[in-house]
Amino acid sequence: MWLPSALLFLCLPGCLSLTGPGYVTGIEGTTLRVQCQYAEGYKGYKKYWCRGEYDIECKSIVETEGGDAVKRNGRVSIRDYENDLTLTVTIEDLQQYDAGTYWCKIQTSWIFDSWSRDPLEQVKVYVIQATTTTRIPLTTPALPLVITRQNIRTEVSTLYPRSLLSSLHFLLLVFLKLPLFLSMLGAVFWVNRPQRTAGERVSLSRSPAVHRPRRALCPDAALQTGLDKSLVLERLAGRQR
């Protein structure tokens, strides 16, 4: 009974010095982040993210070099936040073949040290297949789920640009306001036209009355032909006798 207890005692420091979520789930095509917390005594140690069913056959994917610099290997990157004592692994553009067993590890042992073990934490990654409802294309904006009056106004303003609205306003001006203006202008001319006609009729009716007595025009006509004015007067006096 003492052997299992001894093995547990040897494993206890490494098991408690590094903790993780146990498992994470992501959607295909999205970005997945995994965080593992470690004890303060492991600041400055090299940390890495590896894949394998068992820790002894874990194949390293990406690792830090001390400090908080970001290290990348393809779609996978790792960063050690020493102030927060957190190791963050990011997998971009998650795919179905990314599902599997991974490990957060801290390198503390020497190569020839077969008795000591690196602190590690197992993390299982599950990937959900993307569907039309979960995958959102980057080139097409997402449609609103709730339709409101404000959304309708926005869609109308998008469908009908300002140039089209300006042309509609111009057509409204031509077909409604212009005929109204022409009607008012024609009414003004129609009201003023009868007054001019009446004035012309009055002047025409008065002018013939002046020229009716032909005798009154005779002296003037004689004067125009060069006859003596006195002769004309004598003839008029003889006629009166």
* pLDDT tens readout for residues 40-80: 999 989 999 999 999 888 999 999 987 788 999 999 999 99
Q: Is the pTM of this model over 0.75?
A: no
Write the CA distances from 41 to 16, 32, 33, 82, 158, integer angstroms. Answer: 12, 28, 24, 11, 59
CA angle 190, 195, 201 (to 5 degrees): 125
CA proximity to 136, closest of 33, 25, 29, 26: 29
Q: Cβ of 10: how many Cβ atoms within 10 Å?
A: 13
Q: Cα–Cα distance between 230 and 234 in angstroms, integer? A: 6
pLDDT confidence bin for 240, thresholds 50/70/90: low
d(CA 129, CA 136): 13
Those residues whose C-beta lies under 8 Å from the C-beta of residue 53, and which sit 6 or more positions away, are 101
Q: What digits encode the pLDDT tens for the residues 104-137?
A: 999 886 654 455 678 999 999 999 998 865 555 5
Cβ atoms < 10 Å from Cβ of 218: 13
Mean pLDDT of all residues in 151-177: 58
All residues at 6 or more sequence positions from 222 whose CB lies less than 8 Å from its CB, including other chains: 229, 232
User: Taking residues 196-209, what's their average pLDDT?
Assistant: 51
Determine the pLDDT at residue 182.
85
Distance of CA 204 to the CA centre of its chain: 76
Average pLDDT over residues 127-148: 59
Look up residue 151 and give its two tokens.
Answer: 């959304």
Contact status, residue 45 vs residue 107, Cβ threshold 8 Å: yes
- What's the rounded Cα separation, in Å, for the pair 216 and 207? 15
Q: Is the predicted pLDDT of residue 193 greater than 60, yes or no?
A: yes
pLDDT (0 to 100) of residue 181: 80
